[in-house]
Amino acid sequence: MKQSHSIGPRTVRSTTVLAVKHKGRTAIGADGQVTFDETVMKGTAYKLRELADGKVVVGFAGGVADALTLFDRFEEKLKAYPRDLRRPAVELAKDWRLDRALRRLEALLIAVTRKELILISGQGDVIEADDDILAIGSGAPYATAAARALVRHNKDMDAEQIVRESLQIAAEICVYTNENIQVISP
């Protein structure tokens, strides 16, 4: 059985980001809820960002300012290594782990292209899932389970539909995930 990866939060508990590769296409989606401690502060946040002229889409779970800093750093790495997603991801993970200022950033990232999806963490993780499903944030286990079931048992759905439906299911279970869902296919 192939394994998928849901990286649980260290301190990241207030969102759900899911990426799926299915039928040769990828899609990434996120909910729009922003929480502060036990309070919902906003319901319409955008947690996805297109980089490299739309060829790469990155989603984050964690602090917004931290994620924006990481997006900028990742975009620099994508410019330096434009032909591959793995190399910029590894370079970002190295910087994130070794740089004193970056080391304090609290976020997780999932980056996708048309053909690849990679999870990047500040612990130096660069993970490609065996079954082409990656999720981060508090709703990650729910979104992962839903996506796996939909991939296995609903052959008519495409990657974007699977991501949207899986995030909807996560929103019904996870109090830190809402139904304001954004999905992008690079």
**Residue owning tokens 């039928």:** 23
Q: Look up 11 and say whether it is catalytic.
A: no
- Distance (Å, whole) CA 136 – CA 8: 6
How many helices, marked H, and strands, marked E, lie in the chain? 4, 12
Active-site pick, 11, 15, 16, 44: 15
- Distance (Å, whole) CA 71 – CA 30: 16
CB contact burial 49-77 (16+ within 10 A = b; e otherwise)? bebbeeebbbbbbbbeebbebbbebbbeb
Catalytic residue annotation? 15
